[in-house]
Amino acid sequence: MSSPPLGKVSGVRVLVIGTGGREHALIEALSRDPRVTELHAAPGNPGTAASATNHEVDASSGESVAALAAELGADLVVIGPEVPLVLGVADAVRARGIAVFGPSAEAAKIEGSKAFAKDVMEAAGVRTARSEIVDSPAIIDAALDRFGPTWVIKDDGLAAGKGVVVTADRAAARAHAADLIESGRPALFESFLDGPEVSLFCLVDGETVVPLLPAQDHKRVGDGDTGPNTGGMGAYSPLPWLAEGVVDEIVDTVVRPVAREMVRRGVPFSGLLYAGLAIGAEGPAVVEFNCRFGDPETQAVLGLLESPLAEALHATATGTLADLPPLQWRDGAAITVVLAAENYPATPRKGDVITGADGPGIYHAGTALDGEGRLVSAGGRVLNVVGVGDDLAAARADAYAKLERIKLPGSHFRKDIGHQAL
Ligand code: GLY
């Protein structure tokens, strides 16, 4: 990539691909970077429209995204969600000579193909769960015998967390596996990894790895980690209970070995490598890798970032991450609380009017404007509310105070995000 280091230029045009709260938070953080003079979102949402220009685009079409980036004269394209990455949208943008933050389709297989991820981890000597693909009802019972007594059963495709069942109830595990197989989707059985979970996001450019602050998300819908799994109901960062040195340990024993192995295979990773880990008695073990920023942890993590984000993403995109000055973070803590629509995660009700959703730290995830220009719910996870404070208690107070001002009929949110960490 021949473009100059972003630190030395101004008047930078950035295009962010995606529609969710993560993309809204990325846009808000990019807008704080003084180099950025033009921000575009595609497709974006009513929230991103406040600081970016939204454009209609088929985000899963590399040709369409690349054409839009060229038309806008974008200096940097940031691809938020995994689906376009797995489909090769970053490759199409790169082919036009435009810097893009996000891995190639081949490297995105670290999220898109469980078999590829396991193979890379095995070659890199990284601890992870044992797993098996179960694709026939006839072999479910034998697989249930080999796993458990806590069963972890996942949709083997990209299901954004929603295809995951973790249960001690054998009948429920069996039913989920049978449902997946019946709908033509193999079930992935995994051994249960004990210990608290950590999401560690790392900027990765070949073998160069720069970790962001660690975070934890809350995947179950209900307080006290009850109810079904969701795409994520909230998150907080950093993790006061995580022993000093564990982030370095994760980088040294998990992320860097995987990044090196990908370089060795000729599929170097460029973008955000997200390690989801369980911190057990024997140390960190990988639950999964993702090829993009996590949602809703990103909204909290970026709430603490003081360094210019466009510079960091551009350095990653152009192979100059090793020259990036160390990232600066504000002291304190941040949390994201997800405001979900009635009946999420089953069949969320849509079209309800939302009020009070203005102000800093309120990111749109599933919203739309109705025919009368009113803001309405348009998805299961509607808003992400981020609180920041000098400690976790202050961050929680900030987020929940903001939530009190937002009205959405039938909505619900978890009251205990970050609470256990206190
Ligand atoms: N935080 C879960 C995910 O982004 O997949």
Cα–Cα nearest to 285, from 210, 215, 216, 191? 191
For residue 234, the number of C-alpha atoms closer than 13 Å in the C-beta half-sphere is: 30
Per-residue pLDDT at 244 exceeds 70:
yes
Give the model confidence (pLDDT) of 32-85 as tens digits.
999 999 999 999 999 999 999 999 999 999 999 999 999 999 999 999 999 999
CB under 8 Å, gap of 24 or more: what pairs does 347-353 form? 348/377, 348/379, 348/380, 349/377, 349/410, 350/376, 350/377, 350/378, 350/379, 351/376, 351/377, 351/378, 352/376, 352/377, 352/408, 352/409, 352/410, 352/411, 353/408, 353/409
For residue 262, the number of C-alpha atoms closer than 13 Å in the C-beta half-sphere is: 31
Model pLDDT, residue 8: 65
Cα–Cα nearest to 410, from 339, 358, 346? 339
Atom of ligand 1 nearest to the CA of 296: 1
Percentage of the chain beyond pLDDT 70 is: 97
Atom of ligand 1 nearest to the CA of 231: 2
Q: How far is the CA of 116 from the centre of ligand 1 (A)?
A: 19
Cα–Cα nearest to 203, from 287, 321, 72, 295? 321
Residue 241's CB: how many other CB atoms inside 10 A?
13
Note whether 388 and 333 are within 8 A (CB). yes
Q: How far is the CA of 346 from the centre of ligand 1 (A)?
A: 18
Residue 18's CB: how many other CB atoms inside 10 A?
26
pLDDT band at 189 (very low <50, low <70, confident <90, very high): very high
For 414, phi then psi, to 5°, come to -80, 140
Model pLDDT, residue 142: 94
Ramachandran sector of residue 44 (left: φ over 0; alpha: ψ -120 to 50; beta: rest): left
Q: Which of 166, 212, 288, 297 to mutate to test the pocket of ligand 1 (most atoms within 8 A of CB)?
A: 297
Lowest mean pLDDT among 169-173, 186-190, 207-211, 306-310: 186-190
Model pLDDT, residue 1: 46
Q: Which of 162, 290, 299, 336 to mutate to test the pocket of ligand 1 (most atoms within 8 A of CB)?
A: 290
Note whether 259 and 207 are within 8 A (CB). yes
DSSP 237-267: ES-TTSPTTHHHHHIIIIIHHHHHHHHHTT-
Smallest CA separation from ligand 1 atom 4, residue = 294
Mean pLDDT of 105-112: 97
Model pLDDT, residue 161: 55
DSSP 313-364: HHHHHTT-GGGSPPP-B-SSEEEEEEEE-TTTTTS-----B-BS--STTEEE
**Residue 64, CA distances (Å) to 68, 136, 413 in order:** 6, 38, 36
String of b and e for 270-307 (b: at least 16 CB within 10 Å)? Answer: bbbbbbbbbbeeeebbbbbbbbbbbbbbbbbbbbbbee
What is the Cα–Cα distance from 274 to 196, expressed in whole angstroms? Answer: 16
Ligand 1 binding residues, C-beta < 6 A? 161, 217, 232, 290, 294-295, 297
Q: Which of 82, 274, 288, 381 to mutate to test the pocket of ligand 1 (most atoms within 8 A of CB)?
A: 274
Q: How far is the CA of 9 from the centre of ligand 1 (A)?
A: 33
**Residue 144, CA distances (Å) to 139, 149, 213, 229, 286 in order:** 9, 9, 37, 20, 22
Give the model confidence (pLDDT) of 271-308 as tens digits.
999 999 999 988 999 999 999 999 999 999 999 999 99
Mean pLDDT of 209-220: 97
Per-residue pLDDT at 137 exceeds 80:
yes
100 against 133, higher pLDDT: 100
pTM for the model? 0.92
Q: Which of 164, 217, 277 to mutate to test the pocket of ligand 1 (most atoms within 8 A of CB)?
A: 217
Mean pLDDT of 368-396: 98
Mean pLDDT of 350-376: 97
Residue 32's CB: how many other CB atoms inside 10 A?
15
For 358, residues 6+ apart whose C-beta sits below 8 A from its C-beta are none
DSSP 267-278: ---EEEEEEEEE
DSSP label at residue 122? H
Tell me the torsion sign for CA atoms 146, 231, 204, 242.
negative
Q: What is the 3-state secondary structure (H, E, C) of 180-239?
A: HHHCCCCEEEECCCCCCEEEEEEEEECCEEEECCCEEECCEEECCCEEEECCCCEEEECC
> Nearest 5 degrees, angle CA 358-CA 301-CA 85?
95
Per-residue pLDDT at 174 exceeds 60:
yes
Model pLDDT, residue 115: 83
Q: How far is the CA of 134 from the centre of ligand 1 (A)?
A: 24
